[in-house]
Structure 1
Amino acid sequence: MRTNSGHQHIAAVFVEARKASTIVHSYPGEIPQTMEEGYAIQDLAIALDGRRIGGWKVGRIPGEQVAKYNAKRLAGPIFVDEIVDALDGHVPVMPIFGKGFAAAEAEILLRIASVPDGEISLDTIADHIDDVRVGVEIASSPFPGINEFGAAVTVSDFGNNKGIVLGPALPDWRHADLLSMPVSLQINGSTVGADRMSNMLDGPFGSVVFLLKELKRRGIEAAPGTWVSAGAITGVHEVTGGQTVKACFGEELEVVVKVRAT
Structure 2
Amino acid sequence: MRATPEQQKIASAFLSARQKKTPLTSYPGPLPATMEEAYAIQDAALGLDGRRVGGWKVGRIADDLVSCYGEHRLTGPIFAEEIVDAADGRCPAMPVFAGGFAAAEAELLLRFGEVGTRVHDIDSIRDAIDDVRIGIEVASSPFPGINSHGPAVTASDYGNNKGLVLGPALADWRRSDLLRMPVEFHIDDLCVGRGTMETMLDGPFGSALFLVRLLRARGIAIPPGTWVSAGAITGVHEIGAGQRAEAVFDGKIRVACTVTG
| Residue of structure 2 equivalent to 1:74 | 74
Cα distance in 2 for residues equivalent to 1:190 and 1:171? 28
Cα distance in 1 for residues equivalent to 2:15 and 2:228? 22
| Residue of structure 2 equivalent to 1:91 | 91
Cα distance in 1 for residues equivalent to 2:161 and 2:97? 11
Q: Secondary structure at the match of 2:152?
A: helix
| Residue of structure 2 equivalent to 1:42 | 42
Q: Which moved more, 1:115-124 or 1:129-138?
A: 115-124
Contiguous gaps of at least 5 residues in structure 2: none
* 2:187 is equivalent to residue 184 of structure 1: no
| Residue of structure 2 equivalent to 1:221 | 221
| Residue of structure 2 equivalent to 1:29 | 29
| Residue of structure 1 equivalent to 2:57 | 57
Q: CA deviation at 1:252?
A: 1.8
| Residue of structure 2 equivalent to 1:245 | 245
Q: Secondary structure at the match of 1:65?
A: helix
Contiguous gaps of at least 5 residues in structure 1: none
| Residue of structure 1 equivalent to 2:114 | 114
Cα distance in 1 for residues equivalent to 2:96 and 2:211? 25
Q: Secondary structure at the match of 1:36?
A: helix
* 2:143 is equivalent to residue 143 of structure 1: yes
Q: Deviations over 1:58-100 (max 9, x none)?
A: 0001112111101000000000000001122211000001210
Cα distance in 2 for residues equivalent to 1:85 and 1:66? 34
Q: Secondary structure at the match of 1:163?
A: strand
Q: Secondary structure at the match of 1:162?
A: strand
Q: CA deviation at 1:177?
A: 0.4
Residue identity matched to 1:171: A
Q: Secondary structure at the match of 1:145?
A: coil
Q: Which moved more, 1:201-210 or 1:110-119?
A: 110-119
**Are 2:105 and 2:234, in contact at CA under 8 Å, matched by a contact in 1?**
yes
Identity of aligned residues (%): 58
Cα distance in 1 for residues equivalent to 2:88 and 2:3? 46
| CA RMSD between the two structures | 0.7
Cα distance in 2 for residues equivalent to 1:169 and 1:87? 7
Q: Which moved more, 1:88-97 or 1:213-222?
A: 88-97
Cα distance in 1 for residues equivalent to 2:222 and 2:24? 30
Residue identity matched to 2:231: G
What TM-score do you get using the length of structure 2 for normalisation? 0.99
Q: Deviations over 1:13-62 (max 9, x none)?
A: 00010011000110010110000000000000011111000000000011
Cα distance in 1 for residues equivalent to 2:10 and 2:112? 31
Q: Which moved more, 1:248-257 or 1:101-110?
A: 248-257
| Residue of structure 2 equivalent to 1:124 | 124
- Residue correspondences, number: 261
Cα distance in 2 for residues equivalent to 1:145 and 1:98? 13
Cα distance in 2 for residues equivalent to 1:64 and 1:103? 23
Residue identity matched to 2:10: I
Deviating 4+ runs (over 3 angstroms): none
Q: Deviations over 1:130-163 (max 9, x none)?
A: 0000000000000000011111111110000001
What TM-score do you get using the length of structure 1 for normalisation? 0.98
Equivalent residues in 2 for 1:13-24, closer than 5 Å: 13-24=13-24
Cα distance in 2 for residues equivalent to 1:252 and 1:40? 42
